[in-house]
Structure 1
Amino acid sequence: MRTSMVIRGGVAVVLLALAGFAGWVFSLPPAPAATEGPAVPPAERDAMLASLKPMDRDRPVVAVIGLNDATETTDYLVPTGILRRADIAEVVMLATGPGPVRLYPALRVEPDATIAAFDADHPGGADYVIVPAMSRDDDPVVLAWLQNQSRKGAMIIGICAGAKVVGAAGLLDGRRATTHWYYVGEMLERSPHIDYVADRRMVVDGIVATTTGITASMPMMLTLIEAIAGRAKAETVARDLGLETWGARHASDAFRLTRRFATTVLANSMAFWNRETHGIRIEPGIDEASLALVADAWSRTYRSGVFTVAASTATVVTANGVRVLPDRDATGRATDRAVSTFPDRGPADALDQTLHAIAGRYGAPTARVVAMQLEYPGFGEAD
C-alpha cells in the first residue's frame, strides 16, 4: 500500500512538472517572420574597416586563444582556417596551458603554443586576438592575458559568446557590442555598461570587435581580411568558402527562444534511447573549416554526437596546418552512420548540405534548431 502511494505521488510530481514546463513552452513566442534586417550604411562599413586596419606591420600577428578543457569548436578553428588560407597574417593557435585543446561540442586539436610561449616570442603582443566562446567566462589566466594584450595595442575580437569573455575582462565597458542571441541577457547582466547593438552580425568599437553566433566567424574573418589586404583578397577567399556576401547586416529578431525551438529540443532530448553517434573520417589535408562546421552541426541536434576516425590515432594535419587528434582509429567500433564533410564544396556549402542532411534524417525542425544555435541566417526558425 505504502509503495503504491509513493509511486502515485511520484507520478503526480512528474505530471505537475510536465504541466509547468508545458505552460512555460506555450508562453514562449511563435517563430518570427522571415526578415533580412536593416541595411548597414556605407559609412558604418567604412568605419568598421578603418578600425580593423593593422597599425604598423605588413604581415600582422593574429593569436587565437583557447582554454585547454573547453573551447567552442567553430569559434576556434574557422577563424584560424580562414585567415591561414588567405595567407595575409601569422596566425597562432594558443592554449592557456600545455597539452591539447578539447573543443566543444566535438574535436580535439594540438595548439601551436601556450600563451606563455607566445609572450616570450612576441613581447610586443599580437596585432589581433581572436577570443572564442569558452566553458568559463572568468578564467583568471585568460582575462589577465587579454587585458595585457589590449594594453599592448591588440585589437580584441570576441567571436560568438567569446564576447562574454571580453566583457568579463572589462574591455567592453562603455562600448558597443553584440554576442550570440542566447547570451545577450547574461552578458548585459554581468557587464551592464555594454551598449548592446541589435541587427548587426558584427560590431566594431575602437579596439574591440564582437560578433553574433557561431557562424558569424566567417563574415568577421572576411571583413578582417578586407581590412588587412583589400577587397579583392577578401572576395577570393569568400569564393573559396562558398560565400557571396559577408556584411554586418543581421536580423536579430529572427533568433530567439521560441515555442517550436523549445518543443523540438524537448522531444529530441527525451528520445535518449534513439541517440546516434556519427563518425567523421579525417585524412591529411582535410578542410578544417568544413570539419568544424560539420562536426558542430551534427553535435547540436539533441539526437546525435560525432567522433573523428582516421587510419591511426596519430595527429592529422589539415589543409591549413591545424593538428587534429582523432578520437578512434579505423579498426575501432563501427559507426551508426558516417557523415561527410563534403570535400568537393566550400565550408559554407558544406554547412548547407549538412543542415539538409540533418533535416532528412531528423526532420526540418531539428535542422532549424541546429541553425538557430549556430545563428545561421537563411536556415532559422521561419519556414
Structure 2
Amino acid sequence: MSKSAFLSGGVALIILSIAGFGGWLFSLPPATVAAEAPPVPQQEGDAMLASLKPKRERPLVAVIGINDATETTDYLMPTGILRRADVADVMMLATGPGPVQLYPALKVEPDATIAAFDAAHPEGAGYVIVPAMSRDDDPAAIAWLRSQAEKGATIIGICAGAKVVAAAGLLDGKRATTHWYYLGEMLRRSPTVRYVADRRMVADGSVTTTTGITASMPMMLTLIEAIAGRDKAEAVAHDLGLEQWDARHASGAFRLTRPFATTVLASSVAFWNREELGVRLEPDMDEVSLALIADAWSRTYRSSASTFAASSETVESRNGVRVIPDQSGTNWPEGVRVSTFPHSKPADALDRTLDAITARYGERTTEVVAMQLEYPRR
C-alpha cells in the first residue's frame, strides 16, 4: 500500500483502463445504491458492550503502528477520543524506534516501541487497537499481536486493520467486517472469517472489527460506554459533534462504481493538476480534527496535505500527540492553505472539509473521498 490507501488501487485502475478499459468500466455499477441501514437488535448491542467490558478498573490501551506506513485516522482518532474521555491509559506504539509515518498524511512520535511497552507492562494491555498498515503481515506486528491476545487483551481491528488481525490468525472462524474495498481480499486470505454485512462494528469473543476509516469514531464511543457507562460516552460524543452513534451501517452504499472509477482515473492521469496543500500545526490543536482533515484532503487524487510550523520541533496536540512538521520556518501561501476549523467539533470539521473539497474540486471528488473514508455523510 502506498501513500494513500487507494493510490495502489488507482494505479491498478489505470492498468485496467489500458487493457480493456471500456468493458471493465461499463461492467461496474452505474451509481451507488441508496441503501437503508437496518436496525441493530438490542441484544446484539448489549452483547458487544459485554464483550468489551474491561478486566481492570482503569484499563491500558495500546494503539500499534508500523513505522513506515500506518493509516492516519486509524492511529490518531482512537488515541484522541480515548484520551479526551480519560477512562483509560492510552499509549501509541511503534514496532521499531523512531517516528511513525502515517498515510496518507502526518508524521508523529509514538510513546514507545512494542519492546519498551512489553518491558514496562509484562502483563500486557487490556485493549489493543490495530489500524490499517501498509503490510498486513509485518512479522514484528503479527508476533506482538499474538502475544497480546495470549495475555488476554481484547483486540480491536480498525478498518483494514482487520486484515492484520486476520493475518495473525485471530479472526479464524470468527464473525467480522472490514473496509469495503478490502473485504474480498481479506476473505480470500482468511476463508474461515464469517463476514457480517450492515454493521459498522462486529464483536466476536475477544476480537472486534470495524468497517471503514470513520468507523473508529462510533467504535471508540462504544468502548467508552463499555468502560465507563452510557452517560460518559454521550458526553464525549457531544464533544465530538455526534448526537447519536451505533453499529448501524448500510454496506450496500459502499462499493466500486463507474463514477468512482472514472473520477479516480481522470484525476490520476492529470498528474500535472495536483497540488500540495498546507496544514498549519498549532499547539493544543485537536488531533482528531487534524487527522480527519489531513486524511480527507490527501484522498482527493488532486491534492496532498503537508504540515508546517514555525520550527522543526514537534507540536503537541490537545491530548498529547506529538506531530512532526513536514516543513518548518515557512509561511504557506494563503491560496494553498487549508483550514483545520479550530472552533468546530471534529465531526463538524470533517463535514466542513468535505464541503471545502466540493468547492475546490467538485462533488464527484468529494464522493470519492467519502467512499474511501466509508463515511455515511450527514
Per the TM alignment, residue 300 of structure 1 is displaced from its structure 2 partner at its CA by: 0.3
Q: What letter corresponds to residue 244 of structure 1 in structure 2?
A: E
Cα deviation, 1:48-86, whole Å, max 9, x if unaligned, reads 00100001x111000000000000000000000000000
1:40 is matched with which residue?
40
Q: Is the 8 A contact 2:309 2:330 kept in 1?
A: no
Tell me which residue corresponds to 1:301. Answer: 300
What is the CA–CA distance in structure 1 between the aligned matches of 2:234 and 2:346, rounded to whole Å? 15
Residue 126 of structure 1: aligned partner: 125
Q: Measure the CA separation in 2 of the matches of 1:122 and 1:346.
A: 34
| Separation in 2, partners of 1:187, 1:256 | 15
- Conserved in 1, the CA contact under 8 Å of 2:308 and 2:332? no
**1:99–1:110 contact (8 Å) kept in structure 2:** yes
Alignment partners' CA distance in 2, 1:106 and 1:336: 20
Q: CA deviation at 1:333?
A: 6.4
2:17–2:24: 8 Å Cα contact kept in structure 1?
Answer: no
Cross-structure match for 1:9: none
Residue 378 of structure 1: how far off its partner (Å): 2.4
Instruction: Report the Cα distance in structure 1 between the residues aligned to 2:172 and 2:143, rounded to whole angstroms.
Output: 16
RMSD: 1.5
1:293 is paired with a residue whose SS is helix
- In structure 2, the residue corresponding to 1:91 is in which secondary structure? strand
The amino acid that maps onto 2:79 is T
Question: What SS does the corresponding residue of 2:91 show, helix, strand or coil?
Answer: strand
**1:1-383 matched pairs, under 5 angstroms:** 18=18, 20-55=20-55, 57-331=56-330, 334=333, 337-378=336-377
Q: Shift of residue 335 of structure 1?
A: 6.8
Distance 1:112 1:20, change over 3 A: same
Percent sequence identity is 74
C-alpha spacing 1:123/1:332, structure 2 compared with 1 (3 Å): same
Provide the C-alpha distance between the structure 2 equivalents of 1:333 and 1:86, rounded to a whole number of angstroms.
34
Q: How far apart are the structure 2 equivalents of 1:31 and 1:230?
A: 40
- Note the residue ranges of structure 1 that are not aligned, 5 or more in a row: 1-13
Contact 1:36/1:249 (8 A) holds in 2: no
1:5 corresponds to: none
SS in 2 for 1:209: strand
- Residue by residue over 1:142-181, the C-alpha shift from the partner in whole angstroms, topping out at 9 and shown as x without a partner, is 1110000001000000000000000000000010000000
What is the CA–CA distance in structure 2 between the aligned matches of 1:138 and 1:333, rounded to whole Å?
38
> CA offsets per residue over residues 125-151 of structure 1, 9 Å max, x none?
000000000000001111110000001
Give me the whole-angstrom Cα distance separating, in 2, the residues matched to 1:191 and 1:33.
28
Q: Distance in 2 between matches of 1:191 and 1:19?
A: 29
Q: 1:329 to 1:335 in 2, by over 3 A?
A: farther
Supply the AA of the counterpart residue of 1:53. K
Which consecutive unaligned segments of at least 5 residues does structure 2 have? 1-13
The verdict on how the C-alpha distance between 1:49 and 1:337 changes in structure 2, with shifts beyond 3 A counting, is: same
Q: Distance in 2 between matches of 1:128 and 1:19?
A: 46
Q: Do the aligned partners of 1:277 and 1:335 also contact (CA within 8 Å) in 2?
A: no
Kept after mapping to 1: 8 A contact 2:109/2:322: yes
Larger Rg: 1
Q: Is the 8 Å Cα contact of residues 276 and 336 (structure 1) preserved in structure 2?
A: no
SS of equivalent residue, structure 1 residue 264: helix
- Contact 1:178/1:198, CA 8 A, preserved across alignment: yes
Q: CA deviation at 1:22?
A: 2.4
SS of 2:45's equivalent in the other structure is helix
Matched-pair contact (CA < 8 Å) for 2:297–2:357: yes
The one-character-per-residue Cα deviations of 1:230-275 (angstroms, maximum 9, x if unpaired) are: 0000000001111122200000000000001000101111221111
Following superposition, the deviation at residue 33 of structure 1 comes to 3.1
Question: When the two structures are aligned, how many residues end up with a matched partner?
Answer: 365
Q: What's the offset of the Cα at 1:19?
A: 7.3
Contact residue 131 and residue 157 of structure 2 kept, 8 A: yes
Change (3 A) 1:17 1:149: closer
TM-score normalized by the length of structure 2:
0.94
